[in-house]
Structure 1
């Protein structure tokens, strides 16, 4: 198994798992974890395949360590080589990177085929953004696909702006209600002031403007 990890500088490492009397294997074989690219991995081999597939299955498994945070992930490129020492013509090289790329491309194309852009909501926008980001990681030339993708990606921005407009509308409604409340409070205060003045006048108390009397400077 040849591992390829991208972390700024491309780095290639190799791990070899050798079997004696391979044809006699009937049960699954699980290798102890090994380290490539600074991370622990494990290889699982199933001579008859998994879920009764009927063919050889090799699984590369990422091993979680105690210092890894929740939601951890690793981006790697790798190849699996099954070397037949008896007949080298029957050796197999698998490049999952290409297979994964076509699988990711298929998901994006299926999404575009089965969804109308105008019917997309925030949830579907996030789902499509995730699909596109996964496809873009393979760094293949996708310029031919971008004209079909951009309207769907742009829909998220449209929805976000629409949500902002709705929030602003709600804020305006709240402010209008608050304005009406304050206006009603002002009217009540003015009425109360007029009533107090009338009560003072009825009791023979004259309202005095102290600033006029004593020459206050404002």
Structure 2
């Protein structure tokens, strides 16, 4: 494939509208038209109903791989957007940096639970259509033996691949306590392992940086999204799931705290009123007792007699 176009370009966006979404076959690749960026042909592939019909997966794919020279390798930087057609500000964006070659000529762009995507109130599917956008900001050949250029933000982690540096300490601790995680690299490609451990690191980072009081509706949605993506990795996550579920159950924590504080304040007001009533009652009881004693004393001061007792009807 000979394309007369510069190998490196800046910001070229492709929008793909998928019509009749509800009629798409499950576990089948639905492929966009090819488009050329950076001198290479690409397409976007969508798989509906992955993992027992639960998820939608979208990948970026190098098209017509057979026409590329032996040993080809490309480094690409792109931004993926799942367009929200109702609330544009809620469109979901992801930045991806990846290496493509003959052994792995695709990259994960998006994973989402179908029930969430197809919920009309979320705005991602409108009139049975969804829209995705891919914007490649860098496409460059890196040679047959070159590695993806390292930057200050990434580091090699346990021969698993390039991982964001800030995630590495969290992953090291996780692997120390759960060594079964390392089994992943024996069963999957390097690209998949990099993605899986990055997804794990992001969930761990979220849990580390958030407090219970931070778990509002927005935070819960963010964690739910990160967790759904991580579940796709099929790592052994039984040790992590209870903590994630517990955090998700804290939805509306701030509102619950406010309600508790209001109830405490109401209780203090009622207790104050009750104490005043008790004081008044005690005073009334004391008055009753004093009056009772005065009555007894008053009754002791005279002897009741019939008035007619002193009336004489007959002369002696």
TM band (smaller chain): 0.3 to 0.5
Instruction: Give the TM-score normalised by the residue count of structure 1.
Output: 0.41
| Higher share in strand | 2
Higher relative contact order (CA 8 A, sep 6+): 2
